[in-house]
Amino acid sequence: MGNIIEFENVSFRYESDEEGVTLPLAVNKVTFGIEQGSFVAVLGHNGSGKSTLAKLTNAINIPESGRVIVDGMDTADEKLTDEIRKTVGMVFQNPDNQIVATIVEDDVAFGPENLGVPPEEIRRRVDDALKAVNMYEYRTSEPHKLSGGQKQRVAIAGVIAMQTRCIVLDEPTAMLDPNGRKDVMATIRKLNREMGITVVLVTHFMDEAVLADRVVVIDSGCILLDGTPREVFSQTDKLIEAGLDVPQATQLAQKLAGMGFDIPTNLLNEHECIKAVCKLLRSK
Ligand code: ADP
Ligand code: MG
């Protein structure tokens, strides 16, 4: 289907507060594309460059060198910034920093209002977006009374209402409790699978990355691994090198294989692990 976002040898560096000090590159010569309609997880430990990378996708950060192309538009061209942000929407980690209005439905309407969408269409978009994230019944609630997960779903509805074709979410579940995380993850999958929106999910949770079609692991601003979850999570040594946890199921399978048992080493979850261990026991 072609790539909706294209990184071509992209580097980015923050400016230091101290005069004469040059900070290292936060993103270092990154080349990759995000295929239209795909669900890509970007995984990396704290400080690896995930947020910097996310903000390069919709012209919040502009590359020091290289180019980021969004649906044919170069993010370095200021005239295109509005159009780029209509194509790629962003959801951030802290739900409290993203909600601007005092009523849920006003908050969701904020984006399309700024785009100059006619009122009757805004009404329809807001209702549809709130239904999509399962928050319609809270449309007249005050956001500060909602849980973190509910607020995050309202923030996602705000992006849906802008009808961006791609949504980049930067650790959207990091501040949520397990239930909030589950609801937000279900919403994110629905965006991709049912609504056809391209999803880039930045996360440091393995169990979230496993749900994507593709996992890109970054370390010190560089791409370390890029492949399907199964391909990426079988590279235990490299993941540990990048300061990431390996799924427990994968670790157990690899230890058993190391002891000479005939078990696949690319298992992703408990379910697959249980199946493989049962097969092993039966074969004895
Ligand atoms: P992550 O999101 O993976 O935790 P970031 O993209 O936030 O990583 O940070 C990448 C690197 O850039 C880190 O070394 C971090 O300290 C540095 N950094 C992030 N934001 C700034 C900033 N505003 N000024 C200077 N350095 C920054
Ligand atoms: Mg971050």
Q: What is the pLDDT of residues 125-182, one digit of tens each?
A: 999 999 999 999 999 999 999 999 999 999 999 999 999 999 999 999 998 999 999 9
How would you label 92-118 residue by residue, b for 16+ Cβ within 10 Å and e otherwise? bbebeebbeeeebbbbbbbbbeeeebe
pLDDT of 247 reads 78
Q: Work out whether the CA dihedral 115, 118, 121, 126 comes out positive or negative.
A: positive
Which residues neighbour 4 within 8 Å (Cβ) at sequence distance 6 or greater? 34, 35, 36, 70, 71, 87, 88, 165, 166, 198
Distance 47 CA to ligand 1 centre (A): 6
pLDDT the model gives residue 269: 84
Reading phi first (left if > 0) and then psi (alpha if -120 to 50, else beta), residue 163 is in left
- Separation between Cα atoms, residue 11 and residue 6, nearest integer Å: 13
Looking only at the bridges linking them, the beta strands covering 3-12 and 222-227 are unpaired
Pocket of ligand 1 (CB under 6 A): 14, 23, 26, 44, 46-52
Predicted confidence at residue 267, as pLDDT, reads 86
Residue nearest to atom 21 of ligand 1 (CA): 14
Ligand 2 mean position, distance from CA 170 (Å): 7
Write down the domain spans for the chain: 3-246
| Beta carbons within 8 Å of 116's beta carbon, 6+ residues apart | none
pLDDT of residue 158: 95
Find the 8 Cα to ligand 1 centroid distance in Å: 21
Residue whose CA is closest, atom 13 of ligand 1? Answer: 47
Q: How many CB atoms lie within 10 A of CB 137?
A: 10
Atom 6 (ligand 1): residue with closest C-alpha?
49
CATH of domain 3-246: 3.40.50.300
Please identify, by atom number, the ligand 1 atom nearest to the C-alpha of residue 218.
3
- The identity of residue 179, as a single letter, is N
In this predicted structure, what is the pLDDT of residue 53?
Answer: 98
Phi and psi, residue 162, nearest 5°? -85, -5
Q: Does 187 have pLDDT greater than 80?
A: yes
Name the pTM for this structure.
0.93
Residue 236 binned pLDDT confidence (cut-offs 50, 70, 90): confident
- φ/ψ bin of 46: left (φ > 0), alpha (ψ from -120 to 50), beta (otherwise): beta
Q: What is the pLDDT of residues 65-112, one digit of tens each?
A: 999 999 999 999 999 999 999 999 999 999 888 888 999 999 999 999
Distance 203 CA to ligand 1 centre (A): 15
pLDDT of residue 23: 95
Which ligand sits nearest to residue 42's alpha carbon?
Answer: 1
Q: How far apart are CA 206 and CA 126, in angstroms?
A: 32
Q: Are 172 and 200 in contact (CB under 8 A)?
A: no
Walk across the sheet containing 73-74 and list its strands.
27-35, 3-12, 65-70, 73-74
> What's the whole-number average pLDDT of the chain?
94
The protein residue whose alpha carbon is closest to atom 15 in ligand 1 is 47
Q: Which two tokens stand for residue 100?
A: 């601007």
Q: For residue 185, give every residue at least 6 positions away whose Cβ sits within 8 Å of its Cβ, in sequence order, or none.
A: 173, 208, 211
Identify the band that residue 240 occupies on the pLDDT scale cut at 50, 70 and 90: confident
Query: Quick check: 191 pLDDT over 90?
Result: yes
Residue whose CA is closest, atom 5 of ligand 1?
49
Q: Are strands 39-43 and 214-219 parallel, antiparallel or unpaired?
A: parallel
Burial of 244 (0-12, 13-18, 19+ CB in 10 A): buried
Q: Which of 43, 52, 203, 205 to mutate to test the pocket of ligand 1 (most atoms within 8 A of CB)?
A: 52
DSSP assignment of 137-170, as one string? GGTTS-GGGS-HHHHHHHHHHHHHHTT-SEEEEE
Residue 249 has pLDDT above 90, yes or no: no
